[in-house]
Structure 1
Amino acid sequence: MAYNPNYQQQPYGQQGYQQQQQQQQQHGQQAQAGYGGYQAQPPAPAQTPEVSLRYWFDAVDSDRSGQLSTEELQRALINGDWSPFNIETVRLMMNMFDTDNSGLITFPEFAGLWKYIEDWRTCFQAYDQDKSGYIDFNELKTAMRSFGYNLSDRFLQLIIKKYDKRGKNPEGRGDVSFDNFVQIAVTVKSLTDAFKRIDREGKGYATIAYEQFLELVVSNR
């Protein structure tokens, strides 16, 4: 399967938090040391990525519990236009990275989740050919084919219609944001994997009982 988000990139939406500490405004700052003495103050050390990520984690951990709820996690995940991730994508991320099934995200789990988002960021940028910050129909078609999914235009249009968060508004243009692009890719992969467990011969079709269908849908929500 060509679902392969093994990419490297800068974190998505990181502009708002990963700022380096400012250097001292004056390297040699006058201080009283006898009469007119000077004491040079070294510049503040730059933050490491882990320190910056911890700072962002603590900033959205509003109840100071050391863990993030779904609502707090949503505040941590930002699209390129500064809009928060839609809640369905946040819940999807929560289910994937809440390894102890506590319903909360610890900092180690958050670090893994953030790396996953970073990987998808580069993938998104690669297919956003016009650099609009959104994936349109043709870009989505190219992405899905590169992932190994030979989906019809009709089905891709259906996906666009469902996940275009601006589609019901006058400014809707038939495209999807970064968070929805991730949700589309993960959902298609998980449903494909579930179908392949039924279509064991790889024919591309299978006979499925009613309750099997319900189990497939429920288990992948």
Structure 2
Amino acid sequence: MTTVPKGDWHDPIHAQENRTFTESEYSQDGNDESWTLEERNEIELCEKFNAFDKNGSGEIDVNELQEILSEEKRKPFQINVLKSLMAKYDCDNSGTIDFNEFRQLWTYLRSIILSFRSYQLVSKDEIAIWKLMEVLKDITGIDITEKVCDVLVKLYVEKKPWYRHRRHNIHLDEFIAMVNEIQTCVEEYDNMSNSRHGFDDYLLNDLKNRHK
């Protein structure tokens, strides 16, 4: 598979150097003092990936991805959220991702989760709905208007059957879906324009068209 190319958007993935580790590249005990913290983390991530690559194909599907990410939150990530994330990094549309693609997805997802948790309610994978504009700007680097936030809430929160029980909060899965949608729109818009003038209207129209 082809590794996603670097870009100049705020996606933290694009700030990462692409390097893949195999078992032959580091000592078996994993205690080589020459490794940096970043390299040790990559080794651990490689081991995590291999543990869930049950058939040894060098690729994982969305169900295996859900298992790998299960330790990141109290309940498993929703499959539809993971499918949208995989689509971003599955360059050949095979329905699976290799380690390089998984590493990029992992770094991107972790950056979203860390930002989310700096705002989340105590003992819940949720944030207060009135914090949405602030949190989205924190993770995307873009000033999201109140009008856009209203549309996002209607698309990702209000239509859920349990909305009436927590209508003032946004769940982590919903937030990840929102961020991913915004990033996709930004990347598409940047490919068409040299400035962000008119982006709000483009984002609103894109959101409505995607969810007809």
The reply to whether TM is greater than 0.5 is yes
SS in structure 2 opposite 1:135? strand
- Within a 5 Å distance, the mapping from 1:140-159 to structure 2 comes to 140-144=132-136, 147-152=142-147, 154-155=150-151, 157-159=153-155
- What letter corresponds to residue 202 of structure 1 in structure 2? G
Aligned to 1:186: 180
CA deviation digits over 1:45-77, x for unaligned, max 9? 559212221221122223332210121112222
| Matched residue type, 1:108 | N
Aligned length: 173
Percent identity for Structure 1 against Structure 2 = 22
Q: Secondary structure at the match of 1:92?
A: helix
Alpha-carbon distance change, 165 to 91 in structure 1, aligned in 2, over 3 angstroms: farther
Superposed CA RMSD in Å reads 4.0
Of residues 89-98 and 184-193 in structure 1, the stretch that sits farther from structure 2 once superposed is 184-193
Query: For the residues of structure 1 that align with 2:206 and 2:131, how far apart are their CA atoms?
Result: 30
2:23 paired residue number: none
1:74 aligns with 2:69: no
8 Å CA contact 2:89, 2:101 repeated in 1 = yes
Tell me if 1:95 matches 2:87. yes
Give TM-score scaled by structure 2 length: 0.61
Provide the C-alpha distance between the structure 1 equivalents of 2:199 and 2:46, rounded to a whole number of angstroms. Answer: 48
Instruction: Give the Cα–Cα distance (whole angstroms) in 2 for the partners of residues 189 and 127 of structure 1.
Output: 20
CA distance in 1, matches of 2:48, 2:154: 36
Q: Which residue of 1 aligns with 2:10?
A: 4
SS at match of 2:174: helix
Pair 1:156–1:136, CA change in 2 (3 A):
farther
- Sort the Cα spacing of 1:141 and 1:130 in 2 relative to 1 into closer, same or farther, 3 A: farther
Distance (Å, rounded) in 1 between the aligned partners of 2:186 and 2:41: 35
Task: Determine the C-alpha separation between the residues in 1 that align with 2:112 and 2:197.
Answer: 31
Whether the 8 Å CA contact 2:62–2:83 is kept in 1: the answer is yes
Pair member with larger Rg: 1
Where does residue 77 of structure 2 map in the other structure? 85
Structure 2 residues not aligned, in runs of 5+ = 1-8, 14-28, 33-39
Deviation of 1:185 after TM superposition, in Å, equals: 1.5
Match of 1:177 in 2: 171
Summarize the alignment of residues 62-141 of structure 1 with structure 2, pairs less than 5 Å apart: 62-78=54-70, 80-128=72-120, 132-141=124-133
Given that residues 133 and 144 in structure 2 are in contact (C-alpha distance below 8 angstroms), is that contact kept between their aligned partners in structure 1? no
Shift of the 143–201 alpha-carbon distance from structure 1 to 2, 3 Å rule, reads closer
Instruction: Verify the 8 A CA contact 1:144 1:150 in the aligned structure 2.
Output: no
Q: 1:100–1:154: structure 2 CA closer, same or farther, 3 Å change rule?
A: closer
Contact 2:53/2:59, CA 8 A, preserved across alignment: yes
Unaligned runs of 5+ in 1: 8-43, 207-211
Amino acid at match of 1:150: T
Query: Displacement, 1:188?
Result: 3.1
Q: CA deviation at 1:114?
A: 0.9
Label 1:60 to 1:175 Cα distance change in 2 as closer, same or farther (>3 A).
Answer: farther
* Cα distance change of structure 1 residues 6 and 203 upon mapping to structure 2, 3 Å threshold: closer
Bigger proportion of residues as helix: 2
